[in-house]
Amino acid sequence: MLKKELVDKLEKLSTRYRKLEEDLSKPDVIQDIKKYRELSKEHKELSEIYETYQEYKRALKELKEAKELLKSPEPELRELAQEEVEKLQRKISELEEKLKFLLVPKDPNDSKNVILEIRAGTGGEEAALFVADLLRMYQKYAEDKGWKFSILSANKTGLGGYKEVIALIEGEGAYSRLKFESGVHRVQRIPVTESGGRIHTSTATVAVLPEADETDVEINPQDLRIETFRASGAGGQYVNTTETAVRITHLPTGIVVSCQDERSQFQNKQKALRILYAKLKDYYERKKREEIAKERKEQVGTGERSEKIRTYNFPQSRVTDHRINLTLYKLQDILEGKLDEIIEALRAKELEERLKLVETS
């Protein structure tokens, strides 16, 4: 049986659902397009909870009736009633689990695109090469999911690695699956730069930010300092003589973003703004979470950039996710973008933690 607290929540949501149905039929609401859309969206979001709860209440009623039949003096009727009781008990148990799942608060960012930022940590050139490996891993994963993957900004090194790279991943549910990747990733292997054959440990930092826009974050243009400069690195005469690179500083927070990969100053500015919106959204949400101490307890790990979340051990072909103590001896498959086994385990753990909060709140 569901706890009284959960039943009370379901009753309130049912009342709200019926009120929405009533409001959506009113002429003044139908004529107000904005209000009608808002109420329709809420109505749609509550519909599965409402319908499942009604099915649950019907099953409880049927179970009560079936138990009454167990008192029948006729053996055959009692046998049929017992079968029905067992069937209904299984159904009720399944409906209870479904209702708990439906009551888990949805992450409003889950449907958003992703701004993926990977930076080299400790390990010099080897860390930069590890960044390139991680970038390729996420690109392969995105391609397997049918998502669009594009580089927004990159700072390459001489051996083909990256000091920093920022990419945009566009696709349904991208953030819901990749949000667990934020943190420090550690690699243990013999670097290509190491002649002695010794195993080194290097790190890279991954930040997964939900893409944001003007509706998520309000930016006062007066708070921005926009500078242009000549792009550095290879690119020929055009790059060396034209100030196409753009650096944007958000003065109130001190957040700085820059882009120089495009040949057009306008394109670099648009890319830089796209990154800035995501960084500001992340910045303000982090501040809010600090004010609400329990917020991070609902998630698998903190997602903080200083937290070591995963180790990639090449000699043993081993990948270990430290948050859930999951070890897989499938390193090459994982580096080829086969991340679902890890991500599904992390999603299941997060759901389990959130279900505990629903049951105790």
Query: What are the tokens at 308?
Result: 């070591």
The alpha carbon of 260 is separated from its chain's Cα centroid by a whole number of angstroms, namely 28
Task: Tally helices (H) and strands (E) across the chain.
Answer: 10, 11
Residue 262: the pLDDT is 78
Interior angle at CA 348, CA 186 and CA 4, nearest 5: 140
Residue 295: the pLDDT is 43
Task: Give the number of other CB atoms < 10 A from CB of residue 329.
Answer: 10
d(CA 177, CA 356): 21
Amino acid found at 109? N
For residue 267, the surrounding DSSP H or E stretch is helix 265-291
Beta pairing, strands 308-313 & 183-189: parallel
d(CA 212, CA 168): 12
Question: How high is the mean pLDDT in each 10-residue block of the chain (361 residues)?
Answer: 86 95 93 92 91 95 93 90 94 90 82 93 93 97 96 88 94 92 94 77 93 82 89 49 82 90 84 89 80 48 65 96 96 97 91 74 59
Assess contact for 154 and 165: CB atoms under 8 A: yes
Beta pairing, strands 183-189 & 200-210: antiparallel
Q: Tell me the CA distances in angstroms from 80 to 69, 71, 73, 76, one per residue in order.
A: 9, 12, 13, 6
Query: What are the tokens at 265?
Result: 């100053």
DSSP class of residue 181 equals G
Query: What are the tokens at 357?
Result: 């909060």
Q: What's the whole-model pTM score?
A: 0.71
Classify the C-alpha dihedral 144-259-111-307 as positive or negative.
Answer: positive
Task: Determine what percent of the chain is predicted with pLDDT higher than 70.
Answer: 90
Residue 232: the pLDDT is 67
* Domains of the chain, CATH where assigned: 4-103 (1.20.58), 114-215+297-355 (3.30.70.1660), 221-288 (3.30.160.20)
Q: Tell me the CA distances in angstroms from 133 to 56, 145, 161, 331, 352, one per residue in order.
A: 49, 19, 8, 12, 31
Residue 303: the pLDDT is 43
DSSP class of residue 234 equals S
Residue 361: the pLDDT is 59
Interior angle at CA 123, CA 178 and CA 328, nearest 5: 45
Q: Reduced to 3 states, what is the DSSP secondary structure of residue 242?
A: coil
Residue 299: the pLDDT is 44
Beta pairing, strands 148-156 & 114-120: unpaired
